[in-house]
A and B are shown apart, each in its own frame.
Chain A
Amino acid sequence: MTNEELWQAVLGEIELSISKANFITWFKNTSILSNKDGKVFIGVPNGFAKEWLENKYKLYILRALRNIQSDVKEVSCSIVTNYQNSFKENKLDAILPPPKVPSPQKTVLKDFDINQKNNLNPKYTFENFIVGGSNELARAACYVVSQNLGKIYNPLFIYGGVGLGKTHLLQSIGNEVFKKDPDCKIRYTSSERFTGDLIESIKNQRVSEFKDLYQKIDLLIIDDIQFLSGKEKTQEEFFHIFNFLYQLNKQIVLSSDCPPKAIPTLEERLRSRFEGGMIADIGQADFETRMAILRKKALNEGLIIEDEALEFIASNITSNIRELEGALNRVSASAQLTQEKITLKFVSALLSEIVSSSKRGSITYKHIIKIVSDFYEIKPDDLLIKIRKREIVRPRQIVMYLMRSELNYSYPGIGERLGGKDHTTAIYAFEKIKKELTFNEKLIKEMDILKKQLYSLG
């Protein structure tokens, strides 16, 4: 038995006879240093432990030792100090020059593109915004607003999914107005930054300064307003600023990923105000728009690319303009690297990974059932048997819809997998949900969440 094993056995025995707090305090970092001729030396980390073990626990230790090794006669402790980090200190100098922390001036230089005063990025303009069927209305509303501040649509509320051009449109308004009248007080901010500034001002007891700043603005643009949801104090301050500006006929432009009605925990008085002006949505860009965006971008970057290749990108990346541009960037970068011509073959090989990852290979109908039943808090099995309760029927229809829309199951296949339903039931469910998705905001929201959960699984 080695010293280590012996000590482990002794500790095991002592642990049973004293309290845990005592055991941890006094026996942490102890070990047997030597064990010879019935004399055992125990290494302890400090003088307190030495005193305590020698005076209070000597009998416990001795008894435990003797149980294992009967010839032990004496126990004593000595303080052990070991260098913990001796390996790295050989070359360290005693003192070094303090680090020169870059002054804020440099951080300003880093994003010099962004106008410091109004926070606008000049690269977003109406001129380089591609208009298609899905964003025509939003673009027109924004343009009108930029020409007639505060007179026609106030507030202007733009909503749409991720990466469809909300920020581009909002900033375009700001840049257009700035171009026409550089003295106009414009402020572009995200609701997150708005909240941050408010919190900062509360912390420094400068809320009135914060209010003053915002109340002097001619054009207030707030991006991603849905993040105000749940922040009551910010909503309240925002409400007052909103009212103040609104009454002075100052233009307010807001954006969100969903219509005001669908923003959870938004105060009623704010919601009704948001709805009081013009609401315009940006939908997913259609194929032609996507092609136009790609063409324009390719032209801007001087990229020579076959039409077929562009079509491949446009038809495979459908949901998000940002992804679309990302794909094109990737193509252009690797073409530059390899000095190859950009053909359909080149593009499809390069993007196969992205394209296939957006095709949800690994998800099956079982995932859908699990997610839907979790979401509506019902048992998965209930979806498969014949119950006509309202709280079951609806989720079942949603499962059917998702199986059809996301996994392309045939109607008979859907019926079969959901406990032998007729294919007409599946058709009815799909059509019903599809129709409702055009007007029922609550359902749209739920469907969004369900889809997100589904794809985060895959």
Chain B
Amino acid sequence: MKLICTREKFKKAIFNLERVVSKQNTLPILNNILFETEKGIFKLSATNLEIGVIIKISAKIEKEGKITIPAKLIGNFIANLPSLGENNITLEAVDQSLKIKSGYFKATIKGLPADDFPLIPQKTSDFLINIPSFIFKKAITKIITCVGYNETRQELTGVNMILNPQGFFLAATDSFRLAESQLKLNNENINKEAYEMFIKSKNNIIIPSATLLELSRIIQNEAEEGAIKITIENSQIFFDLEGIKIVSRLINGKYPEYKNIIPKEFKTTIQGEKELIQGVVKMASVFTSGRSGEVGIKINSDEKKVVFEARSVEIGENSSELKLEITGPSQEIIFNSKYLLEGLNTLNTPRIALLINSGSSPAALKEVNMEKETLGEDYIYIIMPIKN
């Protein structure tokens, strides 16, 4: 194998693959990245047998071939390569080693034979969904904080995806709070026949959160106009981006029926600037002690004011009074400040809304759509109050 590619593309590919490579493996080759050429394209693959990632980059290929190289080593080499200077990088496989050359920098890295590298599963059917990748990324980043890390409930370590003819929901919960993103699909976004067939047989899957986290890192910024194609088959999910393919296992199990937890309507709604409310809750959280970090919210609808309170025997107490827009009756409710703050952080609009039914039933956070002055319908963060 001998080829020349741009350093920038190579670097990005190595960084994306390095994260996939797991640290502890019985099989030494899983610590490696597979380099191979395929019909004039330079292809790199890495896997930990839960997720597999293949990245294709364009390159000038002088000689076909393949080799595997330790991910950590090549990652460190590339990270330390100065960004000035030579823009190209030359890779050449000689026997069991890879020779790398970029400007004045040279390295020879010992590898392992490519034949022992796991075969990354390929999809056999056509895609189901095709949506702009940044929309998908946005939906993931909002819900991923809610994923639970409780190993006894494996299903909660993943993200629930429910598909229906109009779109799909992504939801995550650690059993104390829950976030749900909704993505609408129209005929352009789906492979109609396959999609309809699929949702008839199975419309509820659980995707490992690590897979989605990786995916959201690979999709770099919103400016990128790429699309993502999603295929589900054989207990596996495939994501196809421009030049990047990701395959992951799905989590076996039944996700909790969470839909009935989300109240259909709320009695009291308060609306306000996100930054203001965030600041007040943060300040109150300083005055909480113990793990439950209780922050009390008192809504007085007659005087049109909301008081945020926290107190602790050892530290002291704090209360902040805000004039916020209130509809509905007065309420008193106590939250865990951590869960409330993390919920506020997921909201992306300058104005936000807190919706409450009572001090002992689920409350919700929503974005407020400024132009239409309506509550955002595509995202909801449900938080359980602490029972007093």
Contact = CB atoms under 8 A, between A and B. Distances in A.
Interface residues of A, number: 37
Which of A24, A98, A102 has most B Cβ within 10 Å? A98
B247 interface: yes
Contact of A97 (B27, B49, B260, B386): B386
Interface in B195-252: 234-236, 247, 249-250, 252
A94 B178 contact: yes
A322 to B, nearest CB: 34
Contact of A89 (B47, B155, B234, B336): B155
Contacts of A24: 26
Given A79-B235, A94-B175, A95-B362, A103 B249 contact: no
Contacts of B118: 48, 51-52
The bracket for how many chain B residues form the interface is 35 or more
B4 to A, nearest CB: 31
B253 A85 contact: yes
Interface in B9-57: 26-28, 47, 49-50, 52
A21 interface: yes
A50 B247 CA distance: 14
Contacts of A56: 119
A84 B157 CA distance: 15
B362 A98 contact: no
A47 B234 contact: yes
A89 B256 CA distance: 7
A101 B234 contact: no
Contact of A96 (B120, B176, B236, B289): B176
A268 interface: no
B267 to A, nearest CB: 18
A104 B119 contact: no
B313 interface: yes
A47 B247 contact: yes
Given A95-B173, A95-B384, A98-B386, A51 B121 contact: yes
B292 interface: yes
A94 B258 contact: yes
A78 B234 CA distance: 8
Contact of B256 (A21, A47, A93): A93
Given A22-B27, A48-B119, A48-B121, A86 B258 contact: no
A55 B312 CA distance: 64
Nearest to B49: A48
A96 B235 contact: no
B303 interface: no
Contacts of B351: none
Chain A contact residues: over half helix, strand or loop, or mixed? loop
Contacts of B153: 85, 92
B326 to A, nearest CB: 24
B49 A104 contact: no
A25 interface: yes
Q: Which of B50, B290, B339, B385 has the most chain A CB atoms closer than 10 A to its own CB?
A: B290
Given A95-B362, A96-B175, A98-B292, A46 B27 contact: no
A138 B4 CA distance: 88
B119 A79 contact: no
A5 to B, nearest CB: 26
A102 B257 CA distance: 30
Contacts of A52: 118-119
Nearest to A86: B254
A172 B382 CA distance: 56
Contacts of B234: 47, 50, 78-79
A81 interface: yes
A101 B176 contact: no
Nearest to A94: B258
A105 interface: yes
Contacts of A89: 155, 253-254, 256
B121 A98 contact: no
Given A52-B119, A83-B252, A108-B313, 11 more contacts: A46-B50, A48-B52, A56-B119, A85-B153, A95-B362, A98-B384, A100-B292, A100-B386, A101-B292, A104-B290, A104-B314
30 contacts: A21-B28, A25-B26, A25-B49, A46-B49, A47-B247, A48-B47, A48-B118, A51-B121, A83-B254, A85-B253, A86-B254, A93-B256, A93-B261, A94-B173, A94-B256, A94-B257, A94-B258, A95-B382, A96-B176, A96-B384, A97-B384, A97-B386, A98-B292, A98-B336, A98-B384, A100-B292, A100-B294, A103-B289, A103-B290, A104-B290
Interface of B: 26-28, 47, 49-50, 52, 118-121, 153-155, 173, 175-178, 234-236, 247, 249-250, 252-254, 256-258, 260-261, 289-292, 294, 312-314, 336, 339, 360, 362, 382, 384-388
Interface of A: 21-22, 24-25, 46-52, 55-56, 78-79, 81-86, 89, 92-105, 108
